[in-house]
Amino acid sequence: MATEVADVTVANGHVAQDQIPVENPATGQVIAHVPDLSPEDLVPLVERGRAAQPAWEALGFDGRGRVLRRMARWLLEHQDEVIDVIRSETGKTYEDAQLAEISYGAAAFNFWAQNAEGYLADEKVKSANVLVKGKKLVTRYRPLGLVGVIGPWNYPLTNSFGDCIPALAAGNSVILKPSEVTPLTSLKLEEGLKECGIPEGVFQIATGRGATGAALIDHVDMIMFTGSTATGKKVMAKAAETLTPVSLELGGKDPMIVLSDADVERAANSAVYWGMFNAGQTCISLERLYVEEPIYDEFVSKVVEKARALRQGFGESGSADVGSMTFPPQVDIVERHVEDAKAKGAKVLVGGERGKGQGYWFEPTVLVDVDHSMECMTEETFGPTLPIMKVRDEEEAIRLANDSPYGLGASVFSKDVTRGERVARRIEAGAVCVNDALVNYTALELPMGGAKTSGLGTRHGAGGIRKYCQQQSLLVTRFAMKKELYMYPYNTRATKLLGKALRFLYGRGKA
């Protein structure tokens, strides 16, 4: 596939002195340059964003929804162009880009256009407290103002740009700092938003490295970050200096438990598909597998057979199952984890080697005889590896699955759905699938967030848009009582009545 991407030397009218080369990781060739904006370069973007936000909010949900729906149609009409750009900077297969990026993006534009108002509508509140009798109590959500999004390199549409959609739907203006590794997709989508009528200054892109993202935190009213746990801690510490609210989706080491009564064929298919999807570079990818002893050999045999049949490459649609890796240092991490496992006694049944040619490649790899002394079972690998560990029973599987600082996603396989759900409820993770994996992310009504060190806050559902808002409580007195109990001068009779009321309302419980 040949994709030509012109260099981007001007960002929001400003010519940056420093440029960042963008590589095609499948070939190692530089395909474009984008500006490396300095902290000073952000100031005019912030000013434009703040100036444009009130009018964008004033459009209301219907007005903003029309822009988002047009963008959904634009994305589908231009999907081949967008897929080419995504692949050129990530090395994904065509199918990975279409399924995980285009389909998600189109769904997200329509979902938030349709559901933003419902999630953010005023909520009437009832209270049993006699002091607010007859008064109107309301909870409402108002946009924070200017939202900053710092995106990752593995899903430049779904995660980088995708987090901007609910922020915009809520009425905020947004500055997106995409990963310097994969900025071209966001720039392409910015073109689409402009064609679809988004007002000038409401959505802007700040290309740059880490210093650009750090500076962005100082200027915005809220920051959404997706990336490693280590960097997430730095983002949170930086945001604490200005008390800027944060939402973080961080690292994962997602376990898969295969119980003895599982459908082995389905479990093996899921393990290989979702373990190797996007070359394993997915926060909720299957990273470690625990299989009960009675079916361990059968399961491993099926996984090995399926993994050996995978085609790795960067050709046209239908020509490859697994693409290249995207971020060069990540190949080093995958290789280190595999070599560490081998040195400690693990066996490589499939793959195990990095690519020898151009670009950044690592073979789809299956490891057995692994344990928690090995990095491949305890640290985030973020690559095309499937380490499989034999366990005695479900209790050992649950204990090992929870033996991690991470808690993003997990999956459990069992023909006994009641048993599978019982085990799933004991897993310390933000999302757990039973007899499936990862597809929970496609249900935009279902919250997605991490436990433990895997993040704060959620994507999707009500929380996925309310986090971009300030919750405000309103109390409206529609009429005045003749003598309200809490006003001077105190009324003795009223005070006695209040005492009786309090005993009636709150004194009936047993000590």
Map 67-80 to HEC letters. Answer: HHHHHHHHHHHCHH
DSSP 424-492: HTTS-SSEEEES--SGGGG-TTS-EE-EETTEESEESTTHHHHTTEEEEEEEEE-S--SS-TTSSSP-H
Dist. CA 76–CA 192, nearest whole Å: 11
Q: Which two tokens stand for residue 150?
A: 């710092």
**Which residue blocks in 293-359 are alpha helix, DSSP H?**
293-308, 328-343
Of 449, 416, 419, 415, give the one whose Cα is nearest residue 431: 449
- Asked if residues 280 and 376 have their Cβ atoms less than 8 Å apart, the reply is no
- Cβ atoms < 10 Å from Cβ of 130: 14
- Tell me which residues are annotated as active site: 249, 283
Measured at the alpha carbon of residue 282, what is the angle toward residues 8 and 337, in degrees to the nearest 5? 110
Dist. CA 97–CA 156, nearest whole Å: 10
Helix (H, G, I), strand (E, B) or coil at 155: coil
Bond prior to 489 in cis (omega within 30° of 0): yes
User: Angle formed by the axes of helices 229-240 and 210-219, to 10°?
Assistant: 40
- Asked if residues 157 and 105 have their Cβ atoms less than 8 Å apart, the reply is yes
